[in-house]
Structure 1
Amino acid sequence: MWAVRHVTDEERRARLARRHGLAPAHRYDEAVAATRAMTVLHATEAPSVHLALHARVADLAVADVDRALYEDRSLVKQLAMRRTLFVFPRDLLPAAWGSASARVAGPLAVRLAKEAVAGGLSEDGAAWVDAARDAVLARLAGGDELSAQEIREQVPEVAAKVELGRGRWAQPVPVAPRVLGLLGAEGSIVRARNATHWRTARPRWTAMAAWLGDVPEPLTEAEGYAALVRRWLWTFGPGTTADLRWWLGGTLGAVRRALADVAAVEVGLDGGGVGWVLPDDVDPEDPVAPWAALTPVLDPTVMGWKERDFYLGGLGPRLFDTNGNAGTTAWWDGRVVGCWVQDDAGVVEVRVLTDLPDEGHAALAVEAERLTAWLEGHRVSTVYPSAAMAPSATR
């Protein structure tokens, strides 16, 4: 099939600026709209959700995000692609439950069954997993919200520990969090209200049915992948098959089937590659005026593609850790140009790693002031610092 047209890197960056709401002139009005625009938000680290939305929403308050997560429940945390925790728009959950989340839950159940046998909990690991699952669901069925520790204390079936590792590396590990992770991936339970402030994750768990009230049926695997791919293509397209396979955490066959199901259209990319867009999304994108933005650790834009040269250039080793986790990023005119950190007083400092015009430095300084004011002196920590974020890092 011949490519419909060629989409340059410059045009891809213009699409990113508008659709991701990163250019200040194109920010969204509220948290749910911004989340839907991004398909999902990374939630591995609790503050990333709030900071990712702050980067994309004008006049956002912490309470706005918490309201969407815990009161309106229009945004819901769900383990899904690549065994990663995301915040989903509520309407997209059935797609994940039938596809990406199911792909995660299956191996988790198998591994937990093996651990139960190896740890001496049962000679029938699968039966033990079923009994543990049923016991937790029975305890949460009434809508109580309990921490992992409270569940461990109140549900004898998951109170045990199993020894993992061998020799000097062996250590006892509680099984309750592993059972909760499995049930969360299945969509049977959900991370409910946070027991502490927004910068730290201490979730309480409850039944998904109690949390949502009306729980729709999961889509079939094919329908679910198609729905996820359709959203991803609007957000990140044009993207390559490799991009989609990595982001989706699925097989090549599942990606190709989903692309066919949504009637995705091929376009040419700079460098000779082939990307995909939705059939009603082939029109050229107008340029965007130069813009600046500061995004958090594991931001969905930075993590949206596997092939990142069109916005990251050669800065990857300095801005990602060795496991592929992105640290904070500073953007100028559609490209990542550095990172940001905070000093002891919580003031945001931008570290630029490449040459910028004075206009770029000035725009990033404005964004640093905006983020500093929003954080109100609170410091945000991370377990995924990049090399550029280290105290001793210099350009």
Structure 2
Amino acid sequence: MKLVKPLSYALVLFIFGFAQAQAPDFSRVVEEVKDSVVVISTEVESRGRTARGPSGSGFVIDKDGYILTNRHVIHGVEKIFVQLVNKKVYPAKLLGEDEGTDIALLQIDAKHLKAVKIGDVERLKVGSWVLAYGAPFGLEHTVTAGIVSAKGRSLGSEQYVPFIQTDAAVNRGNSGGPLFNHKGEVVGINSQIFSMTGGNMGLAFAIPMDLAMDVSEQLRKNGKVKRGFLGVGYEEVDYEKAKAFGVEEVKGALINAVAPESPAAAGGLKVGDIVVRVNDTEIISASELPFVIGRVRPGTDVEMGVLRDGKLIELEVTVGERSSNDIASTQPNSATGGIGLEVVELSEQMKAEANVNYGVLVRRVMSGPAQEAGIRQGDILQMLNQQTINSLDDYQSALAQLPDVGSVAILVARPGAGARFLVLKLGDTD
């Protein structure tokens, strides 16, 4: 037993030394890309006065002043400013923003800027080293390194983004900044973190660059994004469901709702079908279906491989266009009794996808009682303080009637996990 501790200690030192030896030197990459990364600041109107708004990061994708960032960094502000590495500050024009992917495209009146090089996301492997570049907490041009923890992550309401997950230290202010590979090529836009404290916990998520460039091109041309639409609800296929539906492999998207007069209904999709392929793209997980369909141009015919009654059939479906009215956002509530949430209306499509009849969708969770109660992005709020929530107006009304101090119940439906009551603790309840 006396040998366990020394041997364990030696093993730890060996592993640590090996890991350190394998970590890449990003100094060359930083030197090459620093001129392409920018700091974004904003101004908002507050009670008739100009106040400092949200801040974040961004990067140059075209030498003529085109810059990508996150929508949540600039949404709803009065003015946007971009600071280059040489400290020059330019007012920025918002060319377009897309809530479905949380991407915004800006332009500044500057020429001959150094644009980033775009990497191949398909060649990015889990375990690869990456570099996050940004301005966390206002600390300009901060770099942190980590590895790709996973690819194709689905995060609640961001259903059109197959996120890259990384353990690089990312915090508030990194939003909109680039995620580089070891070659100095951008592979993603740092967008979200999962945190119980509001700070880094080694769970950061980036928007893949192939998707970001597709969105930015549409924003540059049209100022908005046209997105494919089927009109179905879906869920994962597990072992028991595969057995019940008479299929051998545990994969695909199980259709649990088809909206009347939708493209899916017109194409012959039925409840109980399992979609396993769209054109040449195999659907392994149900969360991949909106990724794939969302990137199809409306009006395009797609070939769908569907398992029905245990047999593979082929369907041709003409993809529709998702209405911009399907997602309507509110600003984070700041009235007395605010619980730290940004919520959006549920469209009929969202209700079908989540298999619920009413509620509002949690778009973003901030520091406050809701976060402490365990509410997550993607949850659906159906009742607050014994008041049913059918709309944003209902939500705002319930918020206005919350006590300053005390405990209130909130009914939360979590896709795939059912509904349950959580307790919000308001004010000093000790």
TM-score scaled by length of structure 2: 0.24
The structure carrying a bigger strand percent of its residues is 2
TM-score scaled by length of structure 1: 0.25
